[in-house]
Amino acid sequence: MLERFLKYVTFDTMSVDEATTVPTSEGQFVFARYLEQELKNLGLEDVLLDEKGYLYATLPANCDKVLPVVGFIAHLDTSPDMSGKDVKPRVVANYDGKDILLNEEAGIVLSTNDFPEILDYKGHDLVVTDGLTLLGADDKAGVAEIVSAMEYLLQHPEIKHGKVRVAFNPDEEIGRGAHNFNVSLFGCDWAYTVDGSAEGELEYENFNAGSATFAIQGRNVHPGYAKGKMLNALRVAAAIVDAVPQNESPECTDNYEGFYHLMSINGGVDSAEVSYIIRDHSADIFEKRMYLMEQVVESMNRRFGAGTVTVELKRQYRNMREMVEPKMYIIDIAERAMMEAGVKPRVKPIRGGTDGAQLSFMGLPCPNLFAGGINFHSRYEFVSVQVMEKAVNTIVKIVQGVAESKK
């Protein structure tokens, strides 16, 4: 599993938000073709890589009992937040609880003061970066764990199981991973994304998500003669920011608390744009947050003049909880599997989105399992080999648990 992961992170698979191709980077296709051959070599069946970079495969059933078809999904891409080119992973064996020097020349240190959670992994073997790139455990750890679990099940036919499907998709990091996912072809009763972070994470709740983009039309005249004439669009932008609750921002919220996240302010005196993303676990509160954006527009237009401000509201994805709750046995199966794998389940909401949320509303209930990576999307990313092993074992135990379940 470790050798597999160390190979996977060498593929440059950063997704590109502004690209119009699918996948949005050629590196994702290169990685998908490598995986396609690996899955065939392992002995999986129905291996299919489609023209958009979605890879599907089957672990055939090895028992006569009619069982549900369960799936496991991970994504091929890495975040555009930081370069994933020329990743140079390093294994820190038996971590001693001290700061880890990632790059001596650049003076980059994985500090226990800045990242105290690393102390939870004393005695573990940690895979770290050289400080110049992200690691790519999000989600190549998940990919490696799924493939390794399938390999283990193939090597241990005494573990009876039904048909299992796996899939690896592009462009999750830019919110497009589920857009071209063929749920019908995948053919599962339910699935799990293996894309969580710390050991034991089990997530079936995520944010309802939307965005608000304010367009401001100002009036620019020579500043020496502007009295009574100028309408400075940037001052209107500042008034919009001031009108949105300041204590309901990402840096002030956690757990089930939603937020308004100011993403950008662009423009000048004549015109400007203010962009927010809006998140909440509660559908009702989310809608109230979206309505507040419309109220801000009305307030600004009363203050600065009719037509000064308009807003474009978009609803992006919904909380998968409403699609998973009718089938809570899929959470029960995962919890039992974790405990059998020596993992304490940590059921918690995702303070973000996941392909599983979109897939759940496409008819494929899809909670999220831990993959083990910490400090995703940064040069300080690391993953514990021991936690990855537990993730592999959890997948195996889920497959085994489905065969033993009455569902």
Task: Give the domain CATH number at 304.
Answer: 3.30.70.360
For residues 254 and 225, membership in a common domain is answered with yes
Kindly report, residue by residue over 207-233, the tens digit of the pLDDT: 999 999 999 999 999 999 999 999 999
For residues 217 and 362, membership in a common domain is answered with no
Given 139, 171, 172, 199, which residue is catalytic?
A: 172
Sheet holding 126-128, edge to edge: 90-92, 126-128, 382-384, 373-374
Q: How far apart are CA 115 and CA 99, in angstroms?
A: 9
Number of alpha carbons in the 13 Å side-chain half-sphere of residue 271 = 5
Q: How far apart are CA 187 and CA 151, in angstroms?
A: 21
Question: Of 272, 288, 317, which closes a domain?
Answer: 317
106-121 mean pLDDT: 97
Kindly report, residue by residue over 387-397, the tens digit of the pLDDT: 999 999 999 99
Total domains in the fold of the chain: 2
Query: What is the pairing mode between strands 190-196 and 368-370?
Result: parallel
Question: Of 295, 317, 339, which closes a domain?
Answer: 317
For residues 379 and 262, membership in a common domain is answered with no
Kindly report, residue by residue over 251-302, the tens digit of the pLDDT: 999 999 999 999 999 999 999 999 999 999 999 999 999 999 999 999 999 9
- According to the model, what pLDDT value does residue 352 have? 82
Kindly report, residue by residue over 8-49, the tens digit of the pLDDT: 999 999 999 999 999 999 999 999 999 999 999 999 999 999
Residue 77 is among the residues annotated as catalytic for this protein = yes
Q: How far apart are CA 101 and CA 285, in angstroms?
A: 44
- According to the model, what pLDDT value does residue 280 have? 97
Residue 172 is among the residues annotated as catalytic for this protein = yes
CATH number of the domain residue 184 falls in: 3.40.630.10
For residues 123 and 259, membership in a common domain is answered with no
Q: Tell me how many degrees the CA angle 174-247-118 measures, rounded to the nearest 5.
A: 60
For residues 141 and 180, membership in a common domain is answered with yes
pLDDT at 160 over 80: yes
For residues 263 and 360, membership in a common domain is answered with no
Tokens, residue 95: 């971590």
Given 12, 77, 125, 355, which residue is catalytic?
A: 77
Are the C-beta atoms of 60 and 163 separated by less than 8 Å?
yes
For residues 115 and 214, membership in a common domain is answered with no
For residues 128 and 224, membership in a common domain is answered with no
- Tell me the three-class secondary structure of the chain, residue by residue: CHHHHHHHCCCCCECCCCCCCCCCCHHHHHHHHHHHHHHHHHCCEEEEECCCCCEEEEECCCCCCCCCCEEEEEECCECCCCCCCCCCCEEECCCCCCCEEEECCCCEEECCCCCHHHHHHCCCCEEECCCCCCCCHHHHHHHHHHHHHHHHHHHCCCCCCCCEEEEEECCHHHCCCCCCCCHHHHCCCEEEEEEECCCCEEECCCCEEEEEEEEEECECCCHHHCCCCCECHHHHHHHHHHHCCCCCCHHHCCCCCCEEEEEEEEECCCEEEEEEEEEECCHHHHHHHHHHHHHHHHHHHHHHCCCCEEEEEEEEECCCHHHHHHHCHHHHHHHHHHHHCCCCCEECCCCCCCHHHHHHCCCCCCCEEECCEECCCCCCCEEEHHHHHHHHHHHHHHHHHHHHCCC
For residues 164 and 38, membership in a common domain is answered with yes
Kindly report, residue by residue over 343-378, the tens digit of the pLDDT: 999 999 988 878 899 999 999 999 999 999 999 999
For residues 325 and 313, membership in a common domain is answered with no
pLDDT at 406 over 80: no
For residues 342 and 226, membership in a common domain is answered with no
For residues 348 and 219, membership in a common domain is answered with no
Q: Does the pTM exceed 0.85?
A: yes
- According to the model, what pLDDT value does residue 306 have? 97
- According to the model, what pLDDT value does residue 407 have? 54
Question: Of 272, 302, 317, which closes a domain?
Answer: 317
Q: Which domain holds residue 226?
A: 208-317
